[in-house]
């Protein structure tokens, strides 16, 4: 009986450790599947008709939202891809520096450039280009999440925990979309966000580089996301406003990137 209880105790501890690990992995997924799909929906509405048709016929992708979480599935099989989803910035630094922050290229900012080049290479195998497109749909979303340009020591807010809606969750989880009430149709939510966009904003947002996107996220991380002592009503409302903006910008800029690369030259 004693041995049985000891074995049960060991198994319970192992189960508890696995549960914690699974929870931590879940909380580190960028934007969550809902946010990535929202980015895909918004991008779809800004694609040029010829580009949208090419994506459907050549790459057999009916909707960008349908492939928006593919990169998260891929990294579960290939753990070396985990760092591709974020860029840790040196403590106290406000802007991204590739040599300092991503010397080996294994971060979201450099992976966007890498897969843009692959998609743009008409001589590359079709499957490689299709995978590159799916990575881009995901990574453009990732780089717009403020805490994906967070501090290394706290794993982009992953080790900072706060009580929220009866649970204790990480700051990273909250900015991945935990602050948003996802109830209802994601398509309707994406449509509402897209309807707020002004034509001048689209032009302004598209006149930017990947480094600009990263620097915007870094600034928002330091000014807003990390500026928290408790989850006050003001903090939550501001967080939701920022998340709405970043999801919208990500969708608009993703479409512009794909329109630029896939337009027949």
Domain assignment present for residue 12? The answer is no
- The tens-digit pLDDT sequence of the chain (265 residues) is 444 444 434 443 433 333 333 333 334 445 788 999 999 999 999 999 999 999 999 999 999 999 999 999 888 888 899 999 999 998 889 999 999 999 999 999 999 999 999 999 999 999 999 999 999 999 999 999 999 999 999 999 999 999 999 999 999 999 999 999 887 899 999 999 999 999 899 999 999 999 999 999 999 999 999 999 999 999 999 999 999 999 999 999 999 999 999 986 5
Q: Is residue 15 part of a domain?
A: no
8 A C-beta contact, residue 63 and residue 87: no
Q: Extract the tokens encoding 222.
A: 């330091």
Residue 30 burial (10 A CB sphere; 0-12, 13-18, 19+): buried
Within a domain: 20:
no
Residue 23 lies in a domain: no
Calpha distance 53→63 (Å, rounded): 11
Residue-number span of the structural domain to which 108 is assigned: 30-262
Rounded Cα distance between 121 and 105, Å, is 19
Which residues make beta-bridge pairs with 167? Answer: 164
Q: Is residue 14 part of a domain?
A: no
Residue 60: CATH number of its domain: 1.10.575.10
Report DSSP state, residue 105: S
Tokens matching residue 166: 């009866």
DSSP run (H or E) holding 4: helix 2-27
Q: Say how many domains are in the chain.
A: 1
In a domain, 222, yes or no: yes
Considering the entire predicted model, what is its pTM?
Answer: 0.88
Whether residue 81 is contained in a domain is answered as: yes
In-domain check, residue 177: yes
């Amino acid at each position: 009986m004693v041995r049985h209880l000891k074995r049960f105790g060991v198994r319970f501890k192992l189960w508890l450790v696995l549960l914690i690990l699974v929870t931590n992995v879940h909380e580190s997924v960028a934007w969550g599947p809902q946010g990535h799909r929202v980015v895909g929906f918004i991008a779809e509405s800004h694609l040029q008709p010829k580009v949208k048709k090419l994506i459907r016929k050549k790459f057999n992708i009916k909707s960008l939202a349908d492939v928006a979480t593919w990169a998260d599935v891929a990294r579960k099989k290939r753990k070396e891809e985990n760092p591709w989803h974020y860029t840790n910035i040196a403590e106290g630094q406000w802007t991204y520096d590739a040599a300092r922050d991503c010397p080996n290229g294994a971060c979201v900012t450099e992976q966007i450039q890498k897969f843009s080049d692959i998609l743009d290479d008409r001589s590359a195998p079709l499957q490689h280009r299709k995978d590159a497109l799916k990575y881009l749909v995901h990574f453009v979303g990732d780089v717009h999440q403020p805490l994906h340009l967070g501090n290394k020591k706290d794993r982009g807010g992953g080790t900072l925990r706060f009580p929220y809606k009866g649970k204790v969750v990480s700051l990273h989880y909250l900015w991945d979309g935990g602050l948003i009430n996802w109830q209802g149709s994601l398509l309707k939510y994406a449509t509402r966000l897209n309807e707020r966009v002004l034509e001048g904003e689209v032009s302004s947002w598209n006149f930017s580089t990947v480094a600009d996107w990263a620097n915007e996220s870094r600034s928002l991380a330091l000014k807003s996301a990390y500026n928290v002592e408790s989850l006050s009503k003001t903090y939550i409302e501001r967080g939701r406003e920022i998340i709405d903006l970043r999801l919208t910008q990500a969708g608009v800029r993703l479409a512009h990137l794909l329109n630029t690369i896939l337009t027949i030259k």
